[in-house]
Protein backbone atom coordinates (compact mmCIF):
# COMPACT_ATOMS: atom_id res chain seq x y z
CA UNK A 1 0.00 0.00 0.00
CA UNK A 2 1.43 3.42 -0.92
CA UNK A 3 2.73 5.09 2.22
CA UNK A 4 3.86 8.58 3.28
CA UNK A 5 5.73 9.71 6.38
CA UNK A 6 4.20 12.70 8.16
CA UNK A 7 6.95 14.47 10.11
CA UNK A 8 4.88 16.67 12.40
CA UNK A 9 6.23 19.87 13.97
CA UNK A 10 9.88 18.86 14.23
CA UNK A 11 10.82 22.50 14.47
CA UNK A 12 13.17 24.81 16.32
CA UNK A 13 10.23 26.63 17.93
CA UNK A 14 10.08 24.08 20.76
CA UNK A 15 13.57 24.94 22.00
CA UNK A 16 12.17 28.27 23.16
CA UNK A 17 9.48 26.78 25.39
CA UNK A 18 10.03 26.62 29.18
CA UNK A 19 9.68 22.81 29.23
CA UNK A 20 12.67 22.40 26.88
CA UNK A 21 15.46 21.75 29.39
CA UNK A 22 18.83 20.25 28.67
CA UNK A 23 18.84 18.08 25.56
CA UNK A 24 15.49 16.25 25.58
CA UNK A 25 15.66 15.51 21.85
CA UNK A 26 18.81 13.35 21.50
CA UNK A 27 17.12 9.92 21.52
CA UNK A 28 14.15 11.26 19.56
CA UNK A 29 16.38 12.74 16.86
CA UNK A 30 18.32 9.49 16.49
CA UNK A 31 15.07 7.58 15.90
CA UNK A 32 13.45 10.29 13.75
CA UNK A 33 16.57 10.51 11.57
CA UNK A 34 16.60 6.71 11.18
CA UNK A 35 12.94 6.76 10.18
CA UNK A 36 13.40 9.58 7.67
CA UNK A 37 16.51 7.94 6.17
CA UNK A 38 14.72 4.60 5.92
CA UNK A 39 11.70 6.16 4.25
CA UNK A 40 13.84 8.13 1.80
CA UNK A 41 15.76 4.94 1.00
CA UNK A 42 12.52 3.09 0.29
CA UNK A 43 11.09 5.89 -1.84
CA UNK A 44 8.44 6.83 0.72
CA UNK A 45 7.53 10.52 0.40
CA UNK A 46 8.30 12.52 3.53
CA UNK A 47 5.79 15.27 4.27
CA UNK A 48 7.07 18.05 6.49
CA UNK A 49 4.52 19.75 8.71
CA UNK A 50 5.22 23.01 10.54
CA UNK A 51 3.00 24.53 13.23
CA UNK A 52 2.41 28.29 13.15
CA UNK A 53 0.39 30.20 15.75
CA UNK A 54 -0.44 33.89 16.17
CA UNK A 55 0.47 36.49 17.04
CA UNK A 56 3.04 37.03 14.30
CA UNK A 57 5.61 38.73 16.50
CA UNK A 58 9.28 37.86 16.94
CA UNK A 59 8.87 36.89 20.60
CA UNK A 60 6.40 34.10 19.70
CA UNK A 61 8.51 31.05 18.76
CA UNK A 62 5.64 29.63 16.67
CA UNK A 63 5.31 32.79 14.55
CA UNK A 64 6.94 32.93 11.15
CA UNK A 65 8.58 36.25 12.05
CA UNK A 66 10.48 34.55 14.92
CA UNK A 67 12.69 32.68 12.44
CA UNK A 68 12.19 29.52 14.53
CA UNK A 69 9.64 27.82 12.29
CA UNK A 70 12.36 25.75 10.65
CA UNK A 71 13.69 22.22 11.10
CA UNK A 72 14.90 21.31 14.59
CA UNK A 73 18.67 21.42 14.85
CA UNK A 74 19.96 17.86 14.69
CA UNK A 75 17.34 16.69 12.23
CA UNK A 76 19.27 15.40 9.23
CA UNK A 77 18.54 17.27 6.00
CA UNK A 78 16.28 15.53 3.48
CA UNK A 79 14.29 16.45 0.40
CA UNK A 80 10.68 16.59 1.52
CA UNK A 81 7.96 15.70 -0.97
CA UNK A 82 5.90 18.68 0.19
CA UNK A 83 5.60 20.98 3.20
CA UNK A 84 2.39 22.08 4.90
CA UNK A 85 1.92 24.80 7.50
CA UNK A 86 -0.83 24.10 10.01
CA UNK A 87 -2.56 26.26 12.58
CA UNK A 88 -4.40 23.50 14.44
CA UNK A 89 -3.37 20.34 16.24
CA UNK A 90 -4.22 17.95 13.39
CA UNK A 91 -2.09 18.26 10.28
CA UNK A 92 -5.24 17.41 8.31
CA UNK A 93 -7.37 20.25 9.73
CA UNK A 94 -7.35 23.42 7.67
CA UNK A 95 -4.64 22.23 5.25
CA UNK A 96 -4.68 20.57 1.84
CA UNK A 97 -2.77 17.56 3.21
CA UNK A 98 -5.65 15.10 2.84
CA UNK A 99 -6.21 16.19 -0.77
CA UNK A 100 -2.51 15.84 -1.58
CA UNK A 101 -2.33 12.38 0.01
CA UNK A 102 -5.35 11.14 -1.96
CA UNK A 103 -3.97 12.63 -5.20
CA UNK A 104 -0.78 10.63 -4.59
CA UNK A 105 -2.77 7.43 -3.94
CA UNK A 106 -1.48 7.22 -0.36
CA UNK A 107 -3.41 4.83 1.89
CA UNK A 108 -1.03 4.39 4.81
CA UNK A 109 0.63 7.07 6.91
CA UNK A 110 3.58 6.85 9.25
CA UNK A 111 3.31 9.50 11.96
CA UNK A 112 6.29 10.88 13.91
CA UNK A 113 7.20 14.23 15.44
CA UNK A 114 6.55 16.60 18.33
CA UNK A 115 4.43 16.46 20.64
CA UNK A 116 3.46 12.86 21.19
CA UNK A 117 0.07 13.48 22.84
CA UNK A 118 -0.88 16.64 21.01
CA UNK A 119 -0.28 17.14 17.31
CA UNK A 120 0.99 13.62 16.59
CA UNK A 121 -1.87 11.87 18.40
CA UNK A 122 -4.50 14.28 17.03
CA UNK A 123 -3.21 13.85 13.47
CA UNK A 124 -3.27 10.07 13.94
CA UNK A 125 -6.87 10.02 15.17
CA UNK A 126 -7.98 12.38 12.40
CA UNK A 127 -6.19 10.33 9.71
CA UNK A 128 -7.77 7.13 10.99
CA UNK A 129 -11.20 8.75 10.93
CA UNK A 130 -10.56 9.77 7.31
CA UNK A 131 -9.84 6.15 6.39
CA UNK A 132 -6.05 6.12 6.32
CA UNK A 133 -4.16 3.20 7.84
CA UNK A 134 -1.72 4.70 10.35
CA UNK A 135 1.58 3.47 11.78
CA UNK A 136 2.37 5.48 14.90
CA UNK A 137 6.08 5.40 15.73
CA UNK A 138 6.16 6.31 19.41
CA UNK A 139 9.96 6.19 19.65
CA UNK A 140 10.11 8.83 16.90
CA UNK A 141 7.84 11.21 18.81
CA UNK A 142 8.84 13.61 21.55
CA UNK A 143 6.98 15.12 24.47
CA UNK A 144 7.71 16.65 27.84
CA UNK A 145 6.70 16.21 31.48
CA UNK A 146 3.40 17.88 32.37
CA UNK A 147 1.74 18.91 35.61
CA UNK A 148 -1.68 17.36 36.25
CA UNK A 149 -4.60 19.32 37.67
CA UNK A 150 -3.79 17.82 41.09
CA UNK A 151 -0.23 19.17 40.91
CA UNK A 152 1.57 15.87 40.35
CA UNK A 153 3.95 15.29 37.46
CA UNK A 154 3.03 13.13 34.53
CA UNK A 155 6.36 12.14 33.00
CA UNK A 156 7.08 12.16 29.29
CA UNK A 157 7.44 8.36 29.47
CA UNK A 158 4.00 8.05 31.07
CA UNK A 159 2.50 10.31 28.42
CA UNK A 160 4.06 8.20 25.66
CA UNK A 161 2.74 5.01 27.26
CA UNK A 162 -0.75 6.48 27.58
CA UNK A 163 -0.73 7.68 23.99
CA UNK A 164 0.41 4.30 22.66
CA UNK A 165 -2.25 2.59 24.77
CA UNK A 166 -5.16 4.68 23.51
CA UNK A 167 -4.08 4.58 19.86
CA UNK A 168 -3.13 0.89 19.54
CA UNK A 169 -5.69 -1.24 17.81
CA UNK A 170 -8.17 1.62 17.55
CA UNK A 171 -6.57 4.37 15.52
CA UNK A 172 -3.13 3.04 14.62
CA UNK A 173 -0.60 0.29 14.64
CA UNK A 174 1.92 1.36 17.27
CA UNK A 175 5.36 0.31 16.10
CA UNK A 176 9.08 0.91 16.15
CA UNK A 177 11.05 2.56 13.36
CA UNK A 178 12.13 -0.85 12.12
CA UNK A 179 8.57 -2.21 12.21
CA UNK A 180 7.23 0.77 10.26
CA UNK A 181 9.93 0.39 7.61
CA UNK A 182 9.34 -3.37 7.39
CA UNK A 183 5.63 -2.74 6.80
CA UNK A 184 6.53 -0.52 3.83
CA UNK A 185 8.67 -3.26 2.30
Domain of 150, CATH number, reads 3.40.50.850
Q: Which range marks the domain in which residue 95 is found? A: 3-184
End-to-end alpha carbon distance in the chain? 10
Tens digits of residue pLDDT in 137-171: 999 999 999 999 999 999 999 999 999 999 999 99
3-state secondary structure of 114: strand
Q: What is the pTM of this model?
A: 0.96
The strand pairing partners of 40, in sequence order, are: none
Of all helices (H) and strands (E), which one includes residue 37?
helix 26-41
Task: Say how many domains are in the chain.
Answer: 1
Count of Cβ atoms closer than 10 Å to residue 122 Cβ: 18
Amino acid sequence: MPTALLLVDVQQSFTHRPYWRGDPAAAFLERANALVAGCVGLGVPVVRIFHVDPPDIMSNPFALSSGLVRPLEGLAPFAEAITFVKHRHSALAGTALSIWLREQGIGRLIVAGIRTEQCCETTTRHASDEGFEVDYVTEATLTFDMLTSSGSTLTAAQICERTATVLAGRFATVCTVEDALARVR
